[in-house]
Homo-oligomer: A and B are copies of this chain.
Amino acid sequence: MKKVSDAVIRRLPKYYRYLIELEREGVMKISSGELSEKMGLNASQIRQDFNCFGGFGQQGFGYHVEVLKNEIQSILNLDKKHNCIIVGMGNIGQALAGYANFMNEGFYIAATFDVNERLVGTTVNGCKILALDEMERFVQENVVEIGIICTPEAHAMEVVERMRRCGIRAIWNFAPIDIQLEGVTVENVHLSDSLYTLSYRLSEQKNNEE
């Protein structure tokens, strides 16, 4: 596969969301111009992005919404089932375990783990919480592709190391720390970053009014 730039890859989920929405609204075809207006992106950028994967559009017709959606779904690897485990079943972990939207796209929470004895053995959103010490055995006995880290910052690296040792190669990290680890693909989610951006814009708004 040709190496595609990070910026393009990060726009793919957004295209995918908008195409699902269009499909739901019964739209059959769309031009790059219409799509650009809807998404607030530049039309030529949209065409360039899709060209990275071989085009999809027909001159004078535009894009066939369902076909394009399916193509992007396949590029994003969302047409397959992915088993995930969550470690750290505090507020965020519980919220993710209950987030049905992920299931729709093939992400299945196979098990959840915690070290807190009051949580272990309880069931959250149909997921039984297991003791963290059982993680290695569980991963050996089941195919697990994605490890989701919802522990406090202090334990995150240790858990990621343990995940790597038992063969997990993709980490979705919600602990407030940037994790980088050789041989493991990590997406670090910093919820506060967007809140801080909002806070900046709020002050910009106020300054413009003064």
Q: Which residues does A use to contact B, with CB under 8 Å? A: 1, 9-10, 12-14, 16-17, 39-40, 75-78, 82, 90-92, 94-96, 98-99, 101-102, 105, 107, 125, 145-146, 169-172, 176, 178, 180, 185, 187, 189-205, 207
Contacts of A96 in B (CB 8 A): 191
Q: Taking the full assembly, how many copies of this chain does it contain?
A: 2
Beta-carbon nearest neighbor of A201 in chain B: B185
Q: Which of the residues B13, B190, B201 comes within 8 Å of A196, measured between beta carbons?
A: B13
CB-CB under 8 A from A170, the residues of chain B are 198-199, 201-202, 205
CA distance A193 to B14 in the complex (A): 7
Chain B residue numbers with a CB within 8 Å of A197 are 9-10, 12-13, 187
Q: A16-B196, A172-B195, A195-B102 are in contact. Are A202 and B146 (CB under 8 A)?
A: yes
Q: Tell me the complex Cα distance, A185–B202, Å.
A: 7
Give A161 Cβ to nearest chain B Cβ, in Å.
18
Which of B10, B172, B180, B200 is within 8 Å of A75, CB to CB?
Answer: B200
Q: Is the interface of A mostly helix, strand, loop or mixed?
A: helix
Contacts of A10 in B (CB 8 A): 193, 197
Q: Which of B16, B76, B169, B200 lies in contact with A9, CB distance below 8 A?
A: B200
A20 to chain B, nearest CB (A): 10
Q: Report B-chain residues with C-beta under 8 Å of the C-beta of A172.
A: 194-195, 198
> How near does chain B come to A153, taking the closest CB pair, in angstroms?
9
Contacts of A107 in B (CB 8 A): 195, 199
Nearest neighbor of A200 in chain B, beta-carbon distance: B76
Contact sample, A vs B, 13 pairs, CB 8 Å cutoff: A9-B197, A17-B176, A17-B178, A76-B196, A76-B199, A76-B200, A82-B202, A91-B95, A94-B95, A102-B195, A146-B202, A170-B202, A170-B205
